[in-house]
Every structure is written in C-alpha cells, then in structure tokens.
Amino acid sequence: MDIGFIGLGNMGAHMARRLVQAGHKVFIYDTRQEAIGDIAALGAIAVRSPKEVADSAETVMVSLPTPDIVLKVATGPDGVIEGKKVKRFVDLSTTGSVMAQRIFKLLADKNIVQIDAPVSGGVRGAEKGTVAVMASGPRADVEAVEPALKVIGKFFYIGEKSGAGQTMKLCNNVLSAAATVATSESMVTGVKAGLDPRIMLDVINASSGRSTATEQKFPEVVLPRTFNQGFTAGLMKKDVDLFLSEAKALGVPVQTCEAVAALLKLTCDELGPDSDITTVIKPIEKRAGVEVRSKSEPSS
C-alpha cells in the first residue's frame, strides 16, 4: 500500500519505520530534516510538504503534537487538503472529538475521508508495534486502512462516528495521568514515613493498587531518577484538558480529573511543559522534603 506519513517524532518515527519494514511504500514529511533522513535511510521516500505527501498517496497518516498543528497540516495552505491523490486522512494524534469532527467536515468538502485513529502505549509500544489503535470513521474506509494500522499496533474499531476514537483515547489517557499522579502522592507519603520505595512497589504490584505507573514508570524511570518515559507533562496536560472539556460538555462531574490537571499544570509551570510526565512527582517531593529513589541512587 502507498502511504503518506507526516510527523516523525517520538511516536511517529517508530510507526513510520514499522510501515516501511512491513513492505509499504511510505512517503514521509517532517519539519525536521534529521527526522526525515533517519526514516528515508530505511527506504521511505522523502517529500517537501504535506501537500506533496497527499499528491503521492491515497492514504495519509499523521502523528502530530497538538490539535492546532493537525488542523494546519490537514487543511492549511500547502496542506493535505490540497493534495491531488489523497482519499483518506488518518489522524494518529490526540486532538479531541471536537477537532476531529471539524477536520472531518472540512476534508469532506474535498471528498477526503477523515479517520481518527489515536494510539496509546507510549514510545516503547510504538517501537514494538503494541500500541492500541482506536479507529473511528466510515466502516469501509477504516477497513481499507486496517491492515496498515495493524502493523502499527493492536487495532480496535470504535465506531462510525467521527471523533469516537478521540473520545476513547482521552478516556484512557486521563486514567493513565491519574494513576501517575496518585502513585506519586502515595509513594512520597510512604517514603516520608520511612518505607522503602522498592518494597512499596513490590507490595502494590502484588495488590489492588497496581497500574502501569507502579509496574513500569516508577520502578524503571522514577526510582532510578532518569525521568525518561518519553511523553511530556505538557502533552499529558493537553490530553487531560481535552478530556475535561468533553466531559463538562456532556455534563459529567470530573472533580478527580480536575485535581490531576492542577498537578500537571503545576509541573509545567515549575519544570516546563517539555519535562517528562514522570516528573509530576517532583513538585510533591519538593513540598514534602523527600525524594523517591532507589537506595543505590545518590541523592541530588
């Protein structure tokens, strides 16, 4: 299958690579030349703009950081909407359902079908092809790209409604964020009381409190103090804010998730939006006067 791919960041580069290695003819574009070069070296074909990507393939996939960037790439000047060959626009980013529906309508005027297919599973999942792919859109068009999406990860068809995949992604990500925040508060409390953080995680992971935060993020990234999970606090804040907006529009009370958003905002304010999502523990540690780290790790 000929596939266009725009956005070769932490997630997109791995997904594009997997498509190339699966034998697809992949036309790539990114604003960073070094990112293009890495994938082109594997056999992808570099082009000079989103429009040129859409001139080259019927299916164009994007993996981009923010809703506004997705909108610009999809419908702006020299964007996908101006392409001569494109028939399907597959958005692997997290934009929220409102933006997905907006892009769907704008592209439909040019007979281009928008499919929202956000992914979850982190950089490691993108590398291994184990991310969850949550696709929604017209069934026939989704089925046309399903084989390629299955190269990227585990495929789920959410429904016909534009934006349904986005809502599913936000419902997942807010749980991931909440688990990371709650685990941070729990671990800091235990360490302040004198507990060994490794033993805490062993007990939690054998008990009802376990999550991806306790099973992977904390033992592998927080306790060694590497803080290199690969997803930023700013991007998670964006996802949680999108969730809050959708939930409130639906009349759903979300006090817990509002508290999660508040700590993400504090993290971005104090450490910067480009800080790793796992650094949400640092503002808590700072105020508690302790650090959650392996006994073998030196104090900072």
Report the Cα 178 to chain-centroid distance in Å: 16
First to last CA, the chain: 51
Marked catalytic residue, from 169, 237, 238, 282: 169
Query: How many C-alpha atoms does 57 have within 13 Å on its Cβ side?
Result: 28
Neighbours of 124 (CB within 10 A): 14
DSSP helix/strand/coil, 11: coil
Is 84 considered catalytic here?
no
Closest residue by Cα to residue 114 from 128, 96, 125, 101:
101
Task: Please give the backbone phi and psi of residue 206, each rounded to the nearest 5 degrees, phi first.
Answer: -100, 5
CB 45 within 8 A of CB 26: yes
**Cβ(56)–Cβ(45) below 8 Å:** yes
DSSP assignments along 127-195, one per residue: HHT-EEEEEES-HHHHHHHHHHHHHHEEEEEEESSTTHHHHHHHHHHHHHHHHHHHHHHHHHHHHHTT-
- Give strand pairing partners of 116: 91, 136
Catalytic residues: 169
